[in-house]
Amino acid sequence: MQLNVKTLNFEGPFDLLLHLIKINEMDIYDIKIYEITTQYINYLNELKEMDLEITSEFIVIAATLIEIKSKMLLPKDKKEELEEEEEDPRKQLVEKLLQYKKFKVVSQFLREHEIGLMFSKKPEIIPDPDINFKEMFKDITLIQLLSLYNELMDRFRNKMNTENIMEKLIPFDVFKIEDKMVSLREILLHIEKSSFKTITKDYSSKIEIVVTFLAMLELIKLREIKVTQYENFKEIYLERIIQDEEN
């Protein structure tokens, strides 16, 4: 049977095979491998003539079809015929086609029923306060209201000027790890052992303590000092490592 296949955009080789099986009105469980292979190869040749890239998936299936076709064309003795009845060379291809067809149907169903989901918070119903403003301000004069306003503004200004407000400008690289490493070496050179709290007790800022802690970790990594902490969250003790002791 001669068939002219128009060049279509197929999602993959199995999509093309299902198309050929459908237009040839074949049973998927009994594929006429001779006709399907010829039409499949003709389709790939059309793509080649149009200078379109043929993906490796199409080529692999073409090789599979040719292999199945050759197995079915080769003469067989009675023993091979009995074995073929038990194992059809088309069986594996049919199983893959059925699996692909199943996924294609499911994906089409999901595509047709896909909806955009949106979750939003329901608007809150904020009840109007049951306040009688006339009664509230009944005995208050304008002078009193002005005095209250000035008092609130003073509180706000005082709050903005307190020391608890973080400064907008943060000093950059005021303390360096390298400098603190030198400082720790000098301290432990004279006393050999000291607590971290003792070393940092006169520090003016938390950032200086943090940088010193990082410097301590660097010295531990360099095996210049060792630290001891007898309990969690308790005092950390620093001790200089003597070279003879390390060896």
How would you write 212-225 as a 3-class SS string?
Answer: HHHHHHHHHHCCCE
Q: Is residue 156 part of a domain?
A: no
Domain edge (last residue) among 59, 78, 113: 113
Q: Averaging pLDDT over each range in 7-11, 35-39, 168-172, 207-211, which range is the top one?
A: 207-211
Phi/psi at 23 (5° precision) = -70, -20
pLDDT score recorded for residue 50: 60
What would the mean pLDDT of 180-201 be, rounded to a whole number? 90
pLDDT above 90 covers what percent of the chain? Answer: 17
pLDDT reading at 199 higher than 50: yes
How many folded domains does the chain comprise?
2
**Confidence band of 181 (pLDDT split at 50, 70, 90):** very high
pLDDT reading at 6 higher than 80: no
Distance of CA 118 to the CA centre of its chain: 22
CATH for 198: 1.10.10.580
The better pLDDT of the pair 81, 29 is held by 29
Residues 154 and 156: their CA atoms lie apart, in Å, by: 5
Tell me the per-residue pLDDT of 88-145, one tens digit each, with 9 for 90 and over. 777 888 888 888 888 888 888 777 766 656 666 677 666 666 667 677 777 788 888 8
The better pLDDT of the pair 232, 52 is held by 232
pLDDT above 70 covers what percent of the chain? Answer: 72
Residues 80 and 154: their CA atoms lie apart, in Å, by: 104
pLDDT score recorded for residue 3: 42
pTM, to two decimals: 0.35
* Per-residue buried b or exposed e for 206-225, using 16+ beta carbons within 10 Å of the residue's own CB: eeebebbeebbeebeeeebb
Q: Is residue 60 part of a domain?
A: yes
Q: Please indicate, yes or no, whether residues 105 and 187 belong to a single structural domain of this protein.
A: no
Q: Is residue 121 part of a domain?
A: no
Domain edge (last residue) among 93, 113, 133: 113
Give me the domain span that covers residue 96: 13-113
Q: Please indicate, yes or no, whether residues 109 and 191 belong to a single structural domain of this protein.
A: no
What would the mean pLDDT of 159-184 be, rounded to a whole number? 71
H/E stretch holding 228: strand 225-228
pLDDT score recorded for residue 180: 92
pLDDT score recorded for residue 58: 79
pLDDT score recorded for residue 108: 80
pLDDT score recorded for residue 2: 41
- ∠ CA(57), CA(62), CA(68), 5° rounding? 130
pLDDT score recorded for residue 66: 83
DSSP state of 9: -
pLDDT reading at 7 higher than 50: no
Q: Is residue 155 part of a domain?
A: no
Domain edge (last residue) among 58, 87, 113: 113
Average per-residue pLDDT for the chain:
77
